[in-house]
Chains A and B, each alone.
Chain A
């Protein structure tokens, strides 16, 4: 879509000659030394690395990737097939249980609780360990058209095609690059000191919670680039507007199908046992649980303290080695049990996922110690922590960064007051 940040290489004849630098670990042109401090004054965690060291990291990661990719086989295929099977049985079982969700036993509706819990887990598995990873092409090597990135559609408001563009292409290419990676706050949150503060940020604790609850719809709006469209609407060409309308219709059709299933057809089936209303609430709750869970996992992947952001200019002519480096510094992990990793779609191994987004997710755990060792050897921070710790740190950050950055000699209260005055003046002058 045209509203997206421009591509690394242009289309057609305008394309520069020679191989894309990101396909090479080393660059032909001398690479600039990394500055010791960032714009916000925070230290740059990769400042001590020479271009040769970064190249070495690139070679090491390439070799690691090759080892795993060459050993993909029967066991991996069996794994994803099993997860898909379990998910489908769980969903069918939960929905069958919900047919009796209105039945009360001692003032308590056991079928509602069991069915809702099962459906929530089924939806989480479907979105995370299956949908997200299949759409990354992690299972394309199996050549099974039923488990292929080109064909998969997920249980979510955002259509697969649009999500793949904004997530796989934009977010994974421009991970944590300010102004290029829209995932960094989804355009509504300030989650990094280097992001500009505005009065809008004051209310972000509210946006954040709202965003988590309605996450699938924010993702749909985000994939559609609705915000950018509304802001730039009057400047867009007819072609771009037509493109937007086409995408919008696609999203609306998807939402309609999803809502019909969860809020109409399944409750209607339950009407036979008088459980229409309870089935409806179960579906609403399952979708809310899924939304909050996926949001929590995702914010833990890129927003906790210790994770770096990057300036636009820092990625010019970036080599694959430098790209790898940025992926490692721009993501963070969640520690936990095996069950926890499956429920996060192995995005608890966000660092490993960002290095190798097309590697089967069941393999991230096995390479994680090697990635950690590599990073520690190069004195790079391997950010990880429990879900509670990581999520809490992000919630705290959202609150903290709703206020402007601390500046020497100025009170934050004064900065807010000044901005308020400016805004009032602007409003008056517009009148």
Chain B
């Protein structure tokens, strides 16, 4: 079983090419130079060679270099990354996707940004760097790697910042932040950038114990300085947060614009709570996607683009199941050696008919799979 707590995200936006939007007499020269460079590099592209010399140059696929991995709690750490020159900045509350190579395999995950959006140094994060904070969850391959094994100097892949879990301008007069565990991170991004503009901030944060509160000292400092009213809900002391307690913690919560981030159970409960109170529009949610895939024997294969759903047993290759249902599928040797049948899997789990090995889709990136030697294990969705 594999658990991932990634946020559902669209794939990264396409990058502008050098000279693509250059008008005027210079534009022709740039375009011509680009064509010559492409002719010189074929069958590769000029970027393949330029990446050798400067992988973080402007116009390259966005990458970053880890500058520091700083522990926050026993199982959480802040990863400070210097992004490539193509970095276009972010709005506090947004997240980035980061691609990390672990044991030779690239994994993509999404994490909220906590650094200053104007590029200045703050909270120990050097100027010009981006920062994410991650909590090592059991069986969380990437989070565990980042917290325990990542080292400064490592090159990682990045996507531009995205997400609409952000504060409006002008900022609302009264704000409630409701966070749990590592759900604090997007809110910390907002606090580090906007706390000065917020007149009245209530913050309810949930964590198993005091030791587990990420950014505890910083939050306590703001509380002591009267800049926000912090209420900690420690599961060890108070039990898991009962939303009925909100009336006691933040009596005017119905009047506040609320930003909420945490585990799915809390989000679901809160959405119901706010709806029951008749103020659902006051609640802004950052939804984690806990895609818990429990592999089974056989199941449904969803062909997303042709919007067809096919039932298949655990002994039928996905390729055969698809063809039987009339889906046009790429195919080749039908025995797993030619890779001519490879199709991106968007989600789900599959089982190799030769070895019984189960492959679970566990990140946002589509995972290319061989349909001729794999059967569905529970369910899977293909980009076909």
Contacts and interface: CB of A to CB of B under 8 A. Distances in A.
Q: Do A and B bind each other?
A: yes
Contact of B43 (A23, A74, A155, A264): A155
Interface residues of B, number: 42
Nearest to A91: B49
B340 A168 contact: yes
Given A88-B52, A165-B332, A150 B342 contact: yes
B40 A164 contact: no
Contacts of A20: 317, 334-335, 372
Given A23-B353, A173-B335, A165 B340 contact: yes
B353 A19 contact: yes
Contacts, number: 132
A15 B106 contact: no
Nearest to B355: A66
Interface residues of A, number: 57
B103 interface: yes
Interface string B322-350: 01101000011111111110100000000
A155 B48 CA distance: 14
Interface in A114-168: 136-137, 140-144, 146, 148-150, 153-155, 164-165, 168
B354 A15 contact: no
Contacts of B127: none
Given A8-B334, A173-B333, A143 B339 contact: no
Closest 5 CB pairs of A and B: A77-B104, A137-B339, A168-B338, A153-B43, A169-B338
**Interface residue SS majority, chain B:** loop
B224 interface: no
Contacts of B355: 62, 66
Interface of B: 36, 39-44, 48-49, 52, 101, 103-107, 315-317, 320, 323-324, 326, 331-340, 342, 353-355, 365, 367-368, 372-373
A29 interface: no
B84 to A, nearest CB: 16
Given A74-B101, A146-B48, A168-B332, 17 more contacts: A11-B331, A12-B324, A19-B317, A74-B103, A76-B104, A77-B101, A77-B104, A143-B365, A168-B333, A169-B333, A169-B338, A261-B39, A261-B41, A264-B39, A265-B39, A358-B336, A358-B337
A73 B102 CA distance: 8
B361 to A, nearest CB: 11
Contacts of B337: 168, 172-173, 357-358
28 contacts: A7-B331, A8-B334, A9-B320, A12-B323, A12-B324, A12-B326, A19-B317, A20-B335, A20-B372, A22-B335, A62-B354, A66-B355, A72-B103, A77-B101, A77-B105, A142-B101, A143-B105, A143-B106, A144-B101, A150-B368, A153-B44, A257-B42, A260-B39, A260-B42, A265-B40, A269-B40, A320-B335, A358-B336
Most buried by A among B333, B338, B340, B367: B338
B303 to A, nearest CB: 15
A144 B106 CA distance: 6
Interface string A293-332: 0000000000000000000000000001001000000000
Contacts of B365: 143
Nearest to B61: A146
Nearest to A147: B106
Contacts of A144: 101, 106
Given A12-B326, A155-B43, A261-B39, A23 B336 contact: yes
A89 B323 contact: no
A323 B365 CA distance: 35
Interface in A224-276: 254, 257-258, 260-261, 264-266, 269
A7 B52 CA distance: 42
A143 B354 CA distance: 21
A320 B317 CA distance: 16
